[in-house]
Homo-oligomer: A and B are copies of this chain.
Amino acid sequence: MFKPFELECISCGEKYKTGNFYNCIKCGGILNVKYNQSKYKLKNNQLIVDNSIQGLWSYKEYLPINNENNICSLAEGHTPLIKSKISEISGNLFFKDETRNPTGSFKDRPTTVSISKAIENKCKGVVAASSGNAGIATAAYAAVAKLPAIIFVPENLPNEKLLQASIYGAKIIKVRGDYSSSFELAKKVALEYNYANLTSTYYNPYGLEGDKTIAFEMYNQLGHLVPDFIIIPIGAGPLLTGIYKGYLDLKEMNLIEKLPKMIGVQAKGCSPIVKAFKENNKNVEPWNHVNTIASGISDPLKGYDQDGTYTLNIIKGSGGYAISVSDEEIIDSVFSLGNGQGIFVEPTSATVFCGYKQLRKSELIKKDDLTVSIITGIGFKDTKPLYKFIGKIPIVEASLMEFDSLNILENE
């Protein structure tokens, strides 16, 4: 069923057989899953989709598992692609609504692939370093896989962010210091105890393969059209790279001719990749003072700045842009997506709408350019920055007279 594949270092080119592998042993570089693409199968010159499967594994023909029995799925993916109805700005804009995944974010895509691979590799458990969605996804999939899960989180993470992972039964451990300390400890524990490390930077090479399926779905949802632009919130950036990889695969299979331009959006208070893009630096450098409400992309890249450089190169190679947006714009866009589109997003996801407005204003995106913004995560997980923007709620007796006295309808 599945294609032969191997792992290849993007820096030195060293090749490895698939296994419980992370960075390149020789040079420490990022490993990339390589397929024998000449053997990719099509059916009637189209992608093979097994519609008897509810999750993204309907694209199993293009995913790196040897034995189907190892698949651990929660029916993730196949999310809607919705035309923008926001009246604030008109344009050929679509939203890919990843909030509709089982745990509420796109992280279910990389996790279903990396945990299935962990099962295939007979790992005894899984770990992840995370300050949010990735840890939650790891916890949920580990629950179904009946594997023990340990999630390492920064010490200052609020309880609101720990509840969901706890209910899935994961063991949560706070690690003193910022995210990079959690990242380090997850690495050590996984290697010491043969646990799979599902941390969703580029460290685990299989995650990207799940992200890739977004491209395959959009190919079918857009009637085989390729977007001119795809806008994505980026921390380290594997989602952006994974989607681009999907389009590269489609081109390799001769299903499309052009490739999309990739737009990475960061918050002004943590934008190492944007800084390197603007200053035309070859390498991304770690960010020092993180200060943004967009917690899903507040990643200073300390200890793995090569991840940022990899993403920077993908963006540049695609002819796209890296841009940054302010927290004020982000809050505005949370409400634009809510009251214009009926989608409740976390601040991180709102950045893509700020980004679209910014690029339309500067005319780098034209009105007719087919653009898809990826809505990465549901609003419930990061509500603290939003409460103060709720207006005062009036209280009345159940009488029409009291209701009328509020003059609610006159303001419509």
* Complex Cα spacing A104 to B386, Å: 19
A162 B341 Cβ-Cβ under 8 A? no
**Does any Cβ of B come within 8 Å of A146's Cβ?**
yes
The answer to whether A339 touches B175 (Cβ under 8 A) is: no
Contacts of A50 in B (CB 8 A): none
Contact with B along A378-412 (1 / 0, CB 8 A): 11110100110111011111111001001011001
User: Is B341 touching A143 in the complex (CB atoms < 8 A)?
Assistant: yes
A5 within 8 A of B: no
B80, B182, B393: the one contacting A162 at CB < 8 Å is: B393
> Cβ of B97 and Cβ of A167 under 8 Å apart?
no
Query: Is A125 part of the binding interface, using a Cβ–Cβ cutoff of 8 Å?
Result: yes
B396 x A172 contact (CB < 8 A): no
Q: Which of A13-21, A186-194, A354-362 contacts B (4 or more CB under 8 A)?
A: A186-194
Given A146-B87, A409-B193, A396-B175 contact (CB < 8 Å):
yes
Determine if B398 and A171 form an interchain contact, defined as CB atoms under 8 angstroms apart.
no
| Known contacts A100-B100, A162-B390, A173-B395; is-contact A143 B342 (Cβ 8 Å) | yes
Q: Is A403 a contact partner of B163 (Cβ separation < 8 A)?
A: no
In the docked arrangement, what's the CA distance between A42 and B54, Å? Answer: 25
Cβ contact within 8 Å between A144 and B175? no
Chain A positions 71 through 97: 1 when the CB is less than 8 Å from some CB of chain B, otherwise 0 = 000110000111001010000000001
Taking the complex as formed, is A316 at the interface, i.e. its CB lies under 8 A from any CB of chain B?
no
Q: What's the number of copies of this chain in the assembled complex?
A: 2
Chain B contacts of A395 at CB under 8 A? 155, 173-176
Q: In the assembled complex, which residues on chain B have CB atoms less than 8 Å from the CB atom of A409? A: 125, 148, 193
- Kindly state whether residue A349 has any CB partner on chain B within 8 Å: no
In the bound complex, residues from chain B placing their C-beta under 8 Å from that of A184 are 398
User: Bound state CA distance, A193 and B404, in angstroms?
Assistant: 11
A176 close to B398 (CB less than 8 A): yes
Contact B143 A340 (CB under 8 A): yes
Q: Select from chain B the residue with minimum beta-carbon distance to A79.
A: B75
- Contacting pair A176 B412 (CB below 8 A): no
Q: A379–B167 contact, CB under 8 A?
A: yes
Contact between chains at B189 and A341 (CB < 8 Å): no
Tell me if A197 counts as interface (CB < 8 A to partner B): no
Q: Which of B169, B335, B398, B408 contacts A175 (CB 8 A)?
A: B398
Name the 6 nearest CB pairs between A and B, nearest first: A169-B339, A380-B380, A75-B80, A167-B338, A140-B342, A174-B395
Q: Which residues of B lie under 8 Å from residue A381 when comparing CB positions? A: 380
C-alpha spacing A148/B408, complex, angstroms: 10
Give, as a whole number of angstroms, the nearest-CB distance from A316 to chain B: 34
Q: Which of B75, B103, B162, B176 contacts A344, CB < 8 Å?
A: B103
Interface string of A35-59 (1 = CB under 8 A from B): 0000000000000000000110000
Q: Residue A287 at the B interface, CB < 8 A?
A: no
